[in-house]
Amino acid sequence: MGKNDKETLKVWKMMNEWVYEGFESTYNLLGVSFDKNYYESQTYLLGKDIIKDGLNNNIFYKKMIHLSG
């Protein structure tokens, strides 16, 4: 982020509120509820560590694809 970090963060928070309000509205219409919500910003580092461990222990592997163009 640049010199307008506060404004950028304000807009980001506002947009996230809209998204989660929309999710809640849709889930309510469908009769769906959750015991707990997990947000990407709170869990992605854990997932990244799990993938690293899996790669290091040969549980996972990287598949390379080549795009022609």
pLDDT at 43 over 90: no
User: Mean pLDDT throughout 20-47?
Assistant: 92
Residues 6+ apart with CB under 8 A from 2: 8
What is residue 53's predicted lDDT score, i.e. its pLDDT?
96
Helix (H, G, I), strand (E, B) or coil at 34: coil
Can you tell me the distance from the alpha carbon of 48 to that of 21, in angstroms, rounded to the nearest whole number? 28
Tell me the whole-structure pTM to 2 decimals.
Answer: 0.54
What are the domain boundaries of the chain? 5-56
What is residue 41's predicted lDDT score, i.e. its pLDDT?
81
pLDDT at 2 over 80: no
Residue 59 is classified by DSSP as S
